[in-house]
Every structure is written in C-alpha cells, then in structure tokens.
C-alpha cells in the first residue's frame, strides 16, 4: 500500500476519535430556566384533604391544646395568653396564616409559574401568596407573613429525570404555628420538600414535608407532612379572608 | 517505504491505538448500580410533631386515639358500624394480647423501626427490604418482581408486600391483610383493603405516606403520612410479649348495634358536634367547615 494511502486511512480512522474528544469545548449553553428544568410538575390546583389531626385543623384548637408540640416555657406562656379578639382589633388576624402554618390549614392551593425562575403559590386560606425564587436570592424586603423563599430542584440519580422541590424560607414576621396562639419567632427557618406521588387510581397527590426550626419557641425541630390532592383544570378557587379565631 | 514515511505511519498508528483504548475504557460499565435510586436501610426514629394518633410520644404530650373518634377517616356506614361494635378491652383476650400491629398502623405507633436489605450474595441484586417495628417480627417487602399470591392465600397482620422505585420514591403495595386497626381505637380496615406506601428521603428525614383503600369500610382512599429521622446511635429493642389471661368477662368483648354507650364521649370531651367525628369522605374537605358551624355541639350532660 502506498504510504500516502496508508496515512489517509489511518487519519480517517483517527478523526472520529479526536472529534469525539473535542465535544463540550464549544461555548457553554445557557442554563435551563427553573421552569424548563422542573423535576416534577407542581402546577395546577390542589385541595387539602384532612385525613390526620382533623380536630386540630378543621376547627381552631382550643386554647391550651399543644398536642404534638414541644414548646419552650416562654412559648407556652405566650400561647396561654392567646386572645383572638385582641389580634382582630390589632389587625393581626393573619398571624395564623404565615408560611410556617399555612400548609396545614384547610383550603385549595394554586401553583403557577410567575416567570421562568419564580413559582407562585396562592392559598385560599387567608388569601395568602407565597413566592419561591429559584437560583437567586429574593430581593431584600422586610419580614412578612410568608417570608422569603429560595427553591431548588433535586433530581433522581438515574434517568428518567424526576425528583422533588426543596424550599428554604426565612425572614418571617412572627406568627402562630397553630391558630390557637402557639408562637413562632422572627428567627424561624423552615425547610420544605414537595413530593408528587400517584395513587393506584391515578390521582395525583402532593406530600409536603416541612421542618420548622425556632430555638426561641420550640425545643426541637417541628416536622410535619401534609397532603393535597390534584383537582381537574378549572377547579373552583375561592380565597377566604384571615380570621383570628 | 521511506524511513520518514515509516516513522509517520508508526506514530499515527500509536495515536489511533491509544485513542481507541481510551474510548473503550470510557465505554466500560460503571461500578455504580442503577437498579436502586435511594437506600432506605437503617435505624429510624419518629420525630417530634409528626405523630398523628400515635400511642407513644417522645416528648411532653402523651396522646393516643380517643375512643370512637373516626375524624379524618373516610368511613362509610359499614365502617362506622364495625368500629362502633368494637370494645377496646378486646386487647385483653389471650388471642390478641400479643398480636402484632398491622402494617397500615405500625408507622403511626411512634418510636422507631429498622429497615435492612436482603441482597443476593452472587448477583448483589436487592431481593427484599425487611422492616422491623417494635411490635412486629419481620415484614418483608419483595423487590425482585415476584408475583403476588392468589387472593385465597392466607391473610396476615403484615400482609404481602412488593416494592418498586418511582424516581427517588419507594412505592410499596400490600395485599393479603387481616382485618385490623387503623388507629389506636376500634376503627378497623377490612381484609379486602389494599395498602400503598410511599417512602421518600429528604436528607436524614424519611417520610412515609400511606394510602389505604378499603372497598368494604371506606368511601375513598385514606391518606396519612409521618416522618422519621435516621438515628445511628439507636437499636430497635426486642419486644418479648407474654400471653396472659386478663380478660375476666365471658366471650369476646363487643357492643351490639345501638348498645354502645360511649360513642359520644369524645365529641363531648372535645366540644365538637357528634357527627363531625363520625368520619366520612365529606368531612375531609374544606367545604365541610361551613356545615360544621351549623351542627349542634355534643353536650357533656
């Protein structure tokens, strides 16, 4: 075989190998938006189904009922002094509707994308809105009932892509962990995990796991898991005003 | 061929060989397994807060289910009738003193549990998870795709469970259960019930969502969940149980229909309408609060 032919054949064999090695060296593609990179679809209208702690949730718990709660003495003292009429008069009737408590209240939850990097959660309960920011910290703002929330997708280790949503919320205005005056402070941090599951009958459910840490009022982290069932498109959504009692 | 050309050919040949070997190396199978996405084995302990209707609390509030409290349960009339007929003192009969908690209730008992893996020593495939609670011996969850036994096969306290992964979540399906309790009172599920569990891991938190479908006693599926934290400093203790004859009454403790004098006690104690704690699908949804306001409260007198 002539030398030139042999060199040409070897070059042809080698070329794909070197081209393969060149991959990934071009200009980096822009990162996908949080909306495009969603691990699961949380959008739509969901309804809370009160299958546990019914009489702590469907009615306002009685004063002094601290079932499941490991309160500090200071928190117990504050809760023992709960006066819903006083809260109403002070315009503080939404104290029981803050981020650390609202998931547990009966009502519907509507989830939409506000933009490519921001998720909006609207609650019938107290006509409240939470905003989850992906990728960047939320803009500075004073403490509020719903605080500031930073979100990130967590993906499965192997395909097909799925996963959960993790949300960390802080900068909360002091509120009630339960409507009967159990307090949480401005130093509260809440971490949530949103899981979507499918029932054997095909219904879609959300399980929201929340861990509330408040050294001022809780002797240990307060962990709860709460459920919402997916409703058909166009389901009713009727916000309710806050009520202190 | 000239010497220079021979050298060029040799160099190119070496390059091709090296590159080909590199590609082959990258193409080899990974050492990572792919059949399992999350490892749930370990020792787990209930966390404060999320122990609905549990009998044992790790902190200040001792709390068990109130008698004849069906709130949160999507009971139908048959479910209510069956539960109303129950007498909690049936625990005192020898046949029931040491009965294990049923699968659907065990997560909510409080305390902890252990999950171990049954690995095939040759293939290293995950054959089964085994769950051990305080008050049961061993509950296998088969992961090897084995078929379910026929409907007429024996029903047990734990039932027959198979598992599969859905993303990071372990989904467990259980059938072949014996009739037993949903919570620490006389509320029961039937032997026709199917139980689906979803195990989800978030850091060191394990959350179990349970979905109970019972065509005999329920109007719709009953969903609950509970979270546990991994605890590497704790071991599940043994639970020796001795059958004792504590029952001094004749026969099996029960109430005939319409003769249970205690059904309203919890509603009176909690200051709630009687109907509210009788359960039913309607009572689980937010709209029920409007009806609740119109119902008379149970009177303590």
Total beta-carbon pairs less than 8 A apart between chain A and chain B: 187
Q: Which among A163, A206, A207, A166 is positioned nearest to A190, based on CA atoms?
A: A166
Angle at B208 between CA B206 and CA B211, to 5 degrees: 170
Does the distance separating the beta carbons of B221 and A21 come in below 8 Å?
no
Reply yes or no on whether the pLDDT at A134 is more than 60: yes
Q: Which among A102, A101, A108, A99 is positioned nearest to A49, based on CA atoms?
A: A108
Reply yes or no on whether the pLDDT at A14 is more than 70: no
What pLDDT is attached to residue A5?
65
pTM, to two decimals = 0.87
Reply yes or no on whether the pLDDT at B55 is more than 90: no
Does the distance separating the beta carbons of A200 and B213 come in below 8 Å?
yes
What pLDDT is attached to residue B93?
85
What pLDDT is attached to residue B237?
86
For chain B, percent of residues with pLDDT exceeding 70: 80
Chain A nearest C-alpha distance from B52 (Å): 6
Question: pLDDT digit string (tens) for B118-140?
Answer: 999 999 899 999 999 988 879 99
Which residues of B fall within a CB distance of 8 Å from A52?
52-53, 72, 224-225
Which region holds residue A148: left if phi is over 0, alpha if psi is between -120 and 50, else beta? beta
Does the interface predicted TM-score (ipTM) exceed 0.95? no
pLDDT average, residue stretch B42-64: 55
For residue A53, what is the nearest residue in chain B, using CA coordinates? B52
What pLDDT is attached to residue B96?
86
CA distance A225 to A49: 12
CA distance A73 to A186: 18
For chain A, percent of residues with pLDDT exceeding 90: 77
User: With the CA atoms of A199, B51, B47 and A108 taken in that order, what torsion angle do they form, in degrees rounded to the nearest 10?
Assistant: 50
Does the distance separating the beta carbons of A3 and B49 come in below 8 Å?
no
How high is the mean pLDDT of chain B? 85
């Amino acid at each position: 075989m002539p030398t030139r032919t042999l060199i040409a054949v070897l070059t042809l064999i080698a070329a794909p190998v070197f081209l393969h090695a060149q991959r990934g060296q071009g200009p980096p593609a822009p990162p996908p938006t949080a909306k495009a990179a969603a691990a699961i679809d949380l959008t739509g209208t969901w309804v809370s189904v009160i299958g546990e702690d019914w009489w702590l949730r469907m009615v306002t718990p009685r004063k002094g009922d601290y079932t499941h709660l490991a309160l500090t003495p200071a928190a117990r003292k504050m809760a023992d002094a709960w006066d819903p009429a006083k809260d109403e008069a002070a315009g503080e009737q939404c104290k029981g509707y803050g981020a650390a408590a609202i998931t547990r209240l009966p009502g519907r939850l509507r989830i939409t994308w506000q933009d490519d990097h921001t998720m909006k959660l609207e609650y019938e309960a107290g006509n409240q809105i939470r905003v989850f920011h992906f990728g960047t910290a939320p803009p500075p703002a004073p403490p509020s009932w719903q605080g500031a929330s930073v979100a990130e997708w967590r993906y499965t280790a192997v395909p097909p892509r799925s996963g959960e949503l993790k949300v960390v919320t802080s900068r909360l205005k002091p509120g009630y962990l339960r409507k009967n005056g159990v307090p949480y402070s401005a130093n509260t941090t809440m971490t949530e995990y949103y899981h979507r599951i499918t029932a054997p009958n095909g219904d879609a459910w959300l399980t929201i796991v929340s861990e509330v840490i408040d050294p001022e009022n809780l002797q240990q982290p307060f962990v709860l898991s709460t459920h919402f069932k997916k409703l058909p498109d166009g389901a009713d959504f009727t916000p309710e005003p806050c009520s202190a009692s | 061929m000239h010497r220079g050309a021979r050298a060029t050919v040799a160099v190119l040949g070496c390059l091709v060989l090296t590159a080909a070997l590199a590609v082959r190396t990258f193409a080899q199978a990974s050492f990572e397994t792919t059949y399992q996405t999350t490892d749930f084995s370990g020792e787990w302990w209930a966390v404060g807060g999320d122990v609905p209707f549990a009998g044992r609390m790790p902190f200040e509030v001792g709390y068990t289910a109130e008698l004849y409290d069906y709130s949160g349960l999507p009971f139908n009339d048959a479910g209510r009738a069956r539960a109303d007929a129950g007498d909690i003192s049936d625990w005192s009969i020898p046949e029931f003193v040491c009965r294990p908690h049923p699968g659907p209730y065990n997560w909510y008992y409080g305390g902890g549990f252990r999950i171990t893996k049954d690995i095939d020593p040759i293939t290293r495939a995950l054959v089964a998870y085994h769950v051990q609670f305080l008050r049961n011996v061993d509950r296998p969850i088969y992961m090897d795709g084995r078929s379910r036994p026929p409907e007429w096969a024996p029903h047990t306290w734990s039932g027959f469970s198979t598992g599969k992964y859905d993303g990071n979540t372990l989904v467990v399906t259980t059938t072949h259960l014996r009739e037993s309790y949903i919570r620490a009172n006389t509320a029961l599920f039937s032997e026709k019930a199917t139980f689906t569990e979803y195990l989800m891991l978030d850091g060191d938190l394990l959350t179990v969502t349970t979905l109970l479908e019972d065509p005999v006693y329920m109007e719709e599926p009953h969903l609950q969940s509970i979270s546990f934290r991994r605890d590497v400093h704790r071991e599940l203790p043994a639970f020796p149980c001795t059958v004792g004859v504590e029952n001094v009454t004749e026969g099996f403790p029960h109430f005939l229909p319409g003769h249970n004098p205690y059904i309203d006690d919890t509603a009176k104690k909690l200051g709630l309408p009687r109907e509210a704690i009788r359960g039913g699908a309607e009572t689980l949804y937010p709209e029920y609060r409007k009806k609740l306001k119109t119902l008379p409260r149970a009177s303590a007198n």
